[in-house]
Amino acid sequence: MPFFAMISPVPTPVRGVRVPHQEREILVSGANISPRIGERYHGRYEHSRRAIGGNDLSRYSVVDVGSNTIHLLVGEVDGGEVLPVTGEKFSARLGAGVEKTGRLEQERLLLAAEAINFFARIAALNGAPSPEVLATSAVRDAENGPELVERVRETTGLKMRLISGKKEAELGFRGALSALGGRREGKVLVVDLGGGSAQLIFGEASGVVEERVSLPLGTNRTTERFVRTNPPTDGELGALGEHVAGLLPAWDIGDAPVVAVGGSARAMVKITQDDLTAGRLWRLSEEIRKWPSGVLAREHGLTPERARVLPAAITTLATVLEVFGKEELTVARGGIREGTLLALAEGGQV
């Protein structure tokens, strides 16, 4: 039976009105996708009027192989804006155990290769060429990361690129700025908090980077190192906060706003349903220490993996605000994937 994916229809939005991410039911069938992929697969349908209707915009696709999640984004680019066509994600948790063993677990490695193969087919179904496949901290740092690269090449014919922390920061900065819309003046500090690392990028809102650093402060990494109990104790998160403060750069960012990107930052907005201030983050940190991750996941509609690392993520971002003397945190949807599509649209090398 051939591979196919059936997508429940969603209304076409009014021109110029962005449709938020909508959960949808996915039916996957055929020999090309195993049940174990389906168990951890989450699809979300995102589109704009231009992405659906007839137009002359080219489509691009990227697979972002992160430490927690593997993401696919198919989209079009118009005037520096990314118009999403479809976005998919698979919870692989490739970074699990890498902090302790230095290696990717074999089962997770094989699952990741399957998911990438699946996403390449999804991209083709949506009219996009073969995706750019980028691997970040977990694969980059693992001793057997090249094994996954070779596995992907053998099973899909795709070349996975292990991008540097510097390149990851540049793409994340560009994607975050695109999501901020009209802001093109002044300076901004972008914090891209992933599972294996955190990228801090400071520069002009026009896109000029002045400072950048990649730090081993990803949520998987810090959770494995500092969090021993569920829920975490005050002492565990206190030690994590001190560790984060000790690694942050001594940049003078003046009155620049702080913008966070990444799944954990978006989860915080989902929980609070409000703007993220320094005080609200610290109160949220205190509140979630009362509940095991399973309760957090159930009550707030989070994946178990996201709920597990959320205490570390909140502590990290709250510490960033404290160190840089800021009271507010803006969360943007854009990041490395959007930055990659922008680079591809310009015909440049990612």
- The domain locations on the chain are 4-162, 166-331
**Fold matches, 4-162 and 166-331:** yes
- CATH classification code of 4-162: 3.30.420.40
Burial class (CB in 10 A: 0-12, 13-18, 19+), 348: exposed
pLDDT digits (tens, 9 = 90+) for 100-144: 899 999 999 999 999 999 999 999 999 999 999 999 988 998 999
> In this structure, what are the phi and psi dihedrals at residue 106, rounded to the nearest 5 degrees?
-60, -45
Residue 42 pLDDT: 52
CB contact at 8 A, 131 and 123: yes
Distances (CA, A) of 333 to 219, 241, 258: 18, 25, 14
Residue matched to tokens 């220490």:
289
CB contact at 8 A, 331 and 258: no
Residue 330 parent element (H or E)? strand 328-331
Residue 183 pLDDT: 61
Q: What's the pTM value of the predicted model, to 2 decimals?
A: 0.81
pLDDT digits (tens, 9 = 90+) for 261-293: 999 999 999 998 878 999 999 999 998 888 999
Highest mean pLDDT among 33-37, 66-70, 149-153, 165-169: 149-153
Q: Give the C-alpha separation, 308 to 325, whole Å.
A: 28
Percent of the chain whose pLDDT exceeds 70: 82
CB contact at 8 A, 114 and 91: no
Name the band, by pLDDT with cuts 50, 70 and 90, for residue 25.
very low
CA nearest to 194, candidates 211, 160, 171: 171
Q: Give the C-alpha separation, 109 to 98, whole Å.
A: 12
Burial class (CB in 10 A: 0-12, 13-18, 19+), 111: buried
| pLDDT above 60 (res 23) | no
Report how many helices (DSSP H) and strands (DSSP E) the chain contains, helices first. 14, 15
DSSP-assigned letters across all residues of 47-84: --HHHHS---PPEEEEEEE-SSEEEEEEEEEETTEEEE
Distances (CA, A) of 47 to 5, 83, 245: 17, 7, 39
CATH of 166-331, one of 1.10.540.10, 3.30.420.150, 1.10.150.20, 3.90.226.10: 3.30.420.150
CB contact at 8 A, 225 and 297: no
> In this structure, what are the phi and psi dihedrals at residue 309, rounded to the nearest 5 degrees?
-95, -5
3-state secondary structure of 146: helix
